[in-house]
Amino acid sequence: MVQNLWNGAWIAALATGAVVIVLIVWAAIFHRKRKTTKAELPPQVRYNLPIEILYTLIPLVMVSVFFFFTARDSEAITRVVGDAPVKVKVEAFQWSWRFTTTVNGKTLAPVAGMPVSDYHQGPQLVLPVNSKVEFDLSTEDVIHSFWVPAFLFKRDVIPGIREDNPGRKFEITTLNKPDVYAGRCAELCGVDHSRMLFSVKLVPQAEFDQYIATHQAGSAQ
């Protein structure tokens, strides 16, 4: 859905750009100052109601179309139903992350990291492929931003938002391809902001079940 919105916005923007460029080139070529005529002003158009209505209406229609699709999709994308089988508490801090995963009421031992220069070395969040996951974002210090580029989703982590505030939460369905995906902080949050890297490892459900069994909080590691 995000991908469709992105593609659609590009198509609309390119079409608009093409029309504008054609009009500019047309005006530049066919409305040049002619050598034969004297330097005098061309006929001045004023208070031309049809034209004024036209150039008010066209941008209004364009903006409305953009607004409609953006509002419709962002409402669907940010809706939190609360039925995700996997829930992750994400705590951002200067300058890394702590992930605490809860599955079927079982909470795993938190995974916390340190500033690193390669995302493979950062804290790793393990999730099942093609599964709905709920994230709950919080921070104790400054504003961070949770971003896994491959998920096409980014959300700011704002300090001081109460736990029951739905604005802290979002749900996504993870990708279908098992792999290790890069994650980063997307809000300049201090000296080691650029090293606030992490990774998300997507694994098949069976492997994830095994991971849960061996990483439950309190159980022997």
Identify which range of 42-50, 146-154, 174-182, 192-200 contacts Cu ion by CB under 5 A: 192-200
Nearest CB to Cu ion, comparing residues 108 and 189: 189
- CA–centroid distance for 50 within its chain: 41
Angle in degrees, 0-180, between the axes of helices 49-77 and 2-30, rounded to the nearest 10: 160
Is 196 one of the binding residues for Cu ion (CB under 5 A)?
A: yes
Nearest CB to Cu ion, comparing residues 17 and 159: 159
CB of 203 to Cu ion, least distance (A): 26
Is 189 one of the binding residues for Cu ion (CB under 5 A)?
A: yes
Nearest CB to Cu ion, comparing residues 94 and 107: 94
Which of 185, 200, 203, 212 binds Cu ion (CB under 5 A)? It is: 185
Q: Please count the residues of this chain forming the interface with Cu ion, following the rule CB under 5 A.
A: 4
Is 144 one of the binding residues for Cu ion (CB under 5 A)?
A: yes
Q: What is the 3-state secondary structure (H, E, C) of the chain?
A: CHHHHHHHHHHHHHHHHHHHHHHHHHHHHHCCCCCCCCCCCCCCCCCCHHHHHHHHHHHHHHHHHHHHHHHHHHHHHCCCCCCCCEEEEEEEECCEEEEEEEECCEEECCEECCCCCCHHHCCEEEEECCCEEEEEEEECCCCEEEEEHHHCEEEEECCCCCCCCHHHEEEEECCCCCEEEEEEECCCCCCCHHHCEEEEEEECHHHHHHHHHHCECCCCC
Nearest CB to Cu ion, comparing residues 107 and 194: 194
Taking residues 29 to 48 in sequence order and writing x for each that binds Cu ion by CB under 5 A, - otherwise, the string is --------------------
Q: Round to whole Å and give the CA distance between 210 and 148.
A: 24
Is 168 one of the binding residues for Cu ion (CB under 5 A)?
A: no
CB of 74 to Cu ion, least distance (A): 23
Identify which range of 49-57, 102-110, 174-182, 188-196 contacts Cu ion by CB under 5 A: 188-196
CB of 196 to Cu ion, least distance (A): 5
Nearest CB to Cu ion, comparing residues 146 and 170: 146
Nearest CB to Cu ion, comparing residues 91 and 131: 91
Note the residues at the interface with Cu ion (CB under 5 A).
144, 185, 189, 196
